[in-house]
Amino acid sequence: MRTNDIILQTVTKIVSFIILMFALHIFFAGHNNPGGGFVGGLLTSGAIVLLLLAYDIKSVANSLPIDFKIMVAVGLLFAVGTGVGSFLFDVPFLTHAFGEFTLPLLGKTHLHTAVLFDIGVYLVVVGSTLTIIQTIGEGE
């Protein structure tokens, strides 16, 4: 039995982007305000779960052609790579560096290698959550 869930789908189209934006905000604000890679990642997967609820697994897989298991691996690579990268500068594993840089377009910007590490956390969290939810959803 197919129910007509046009309202749900339309609302989802709008709300999921708001959630995504909020997730990105939480992620980038993490270093100075509450938030960070973990919560950002969970919220992002919340947005995708909403898509899964409103549509079905296949159409979400078509519009988001991502293998979330690979995402986990990429995230781990980011985290480990940030750590290994500090060897290049002859400092201990996982030593972070930061500073103010003047970039083209953005002007004076505060950059921090911890963000690379946080991206790793973010990707692993999104990848793991969605792998779990997808496999259980397809499990039947």
Partner 1 sequence: MSLLHFAIIAPLLFACFIPFLFKRLNLIHTGWFVLGLSIILFIYFLRFLPDIQHGGIQETVNWIPSLGINFTAYVDGLGLLFALLITGIGSLVSLYSIYYLSKEKEDLGSFYVYLLMFMGAMLGVVLSDNLIVLYTFWELTSFSSFLLIGYWYHKKRSRYGAQKSMLITVFGGLAMLGGFLLLYLMTGSFSIREIISIADGIYGDPLFIPALILVLFGAFTKSAQFPFHIWLPDAMEAPTPVSAYLHSATMVKAGIYLVARLSPVFAEHGLWLWLVAGFGIFTLAWGSFNAVKQTDLKAILAFSTVSQLGLIMSLLGIGAAALHYDYLDDNLYMAATFAAVFHLINHATFKGSLFMVAGIVDHETGTRDIRRLGGLMQIMPVTFTIALIGTFSMAGLPPFNGFLSKEMFLAAMVNVLSLDIFNMETWSALFPVLAWVGSVFTFVYSMMLLFKTFTGTYQPEKLEKNPHEAPVGMLVSPIILGALVIVFGLFPNILSTSIIEPAANAISPALIDAGQSFSTHISFWHGLTPELYMTIGIVIVGAFLYVTLPKWERIYGLFPKKLALNHLYDQSLIRAESGSLSVTNSYMNGSIRTYMIYIFVSMVGILSFSIIQKNAFAFTTDGLAPMGLYEVVLGVIIAGASITILVAKSRLTSIIALGAIGYTVALFFVLFRAPDLVLTQLVIETISVALFLLAFYHLPKINRKEERMGFKLTNALVAAGVGVIVTVIAFSALSNRKFESIAQYYIENTAEKAGGLNMVNVILVDFRGFDTMFEIAVLGIAALGIYGMIKLRLSRREDT
Best CA proximity match to 130, nearest among 51, 54, 76:
51
Full DSSP string of 56-113: -HHHHHHHS---HHHHHHHHHHHHHHHHHHGGGGT--TT---EEEEEETTTEEEEEET
Tokens representing residue 119 in the block: 């991206």
Which residue number, 54 or 124, has a Cβ lying nearer to partner 1? 124
Best CA proximity match to 128, nearest among 36, 23, 42:
42
Which residue number, 37 or 60, has a Cβ lying nearer to partner 1? 37
Which residue number, 90 or 100, has a Cβ lying nearer to partner 1? 100
- Alpha carbons 116 and 13: distance in angstroms, whole number: 30
Q: Write down the least CB distance from residue 38 to partner 1, Å.
A: 6
Which residue number, 10 or 49, has a Cβ lying nearer to partner 1? 49
Q: Residue numbers of the site for partner 1 (CB under 8 A)?
A: 26, 30-39, 42-43, 46, 68-69, 72-73, 75-76, 79-80, 83, 93-94, 96, 98, 110, 112, 114, 117-118, 120-121, 124-125, 127-129, 131-132, 135-136, 139
Tally Cβ neighbours within 10 Å of residue 58: 9
Q: Write down the least CB distance from residue 12 to partner 1, Å.
A: 18
Q: Write down the least CB distance from residue 29 to partner 1, Å.
A: 8
Q: Write down the least CB distance from residue 82 to partner 1, Å.
A: 8
Q: Write down the least CB distance from residue 4 to partner 1, Å.
A: 25
